[in-house]
Amino acid sequence: MASTQSTHIEEKLEAFGTQCKEAGLKMTPQRSAIYRFLLQTKEHPSADTVFRNVRLTFPNISLDTVNRTLLTLNRIGAAFVVEGTGDAKRFDANLDD
């Protein structure tokens, strides 16, 4: 199961690289890490949750960078804003699962 999930994530990351290229965006390590986290989580994380997790790998990343990246992912169709309660936007890259 873990191998299948890992393969699925790698396939999604490859497709994401193509989406970025088609949108005129570079596939940066930070952008890739943010998208990977969205693919791996079973929740609909807020930008703050994504920030806290991605910061473990990229300690110099800012919350603003995470916010802007999530909005960019939404704009190119790689991630979606999930409606919920409260003010915080929540994101998901797994709407087909």
pLDDT in tens, 76-95: 999 998 877 777 788 888 75
* For the chain, domain boundaries: 2-92
Span 2-92 CATH architecture:
Orthogonal Bundle (1.10)
Backbone angles phi, psi at 80, to 5 degrees: -130, 145
- d(CA 27, CA 31) in angstroms, rounded, equals 6
pLDDT in tens, 10-67: 999 999 999 999 999 999 999 999 999 999 998 899 999 999 999 999 999 999 999 9
- Looking at residue 96, its pLDDT comes to 61
- Looking at residue 6, its pLDDT comes to 80
- Positive or negative CA dihedral for 25, 68, 29, 82? negative
Question: pTM here?
Answer: 0.86
CB crowding 69-96: b at 16 or more within 10 Å, else e: bbebbeeeebbbeeeeeeeebbbbbbee
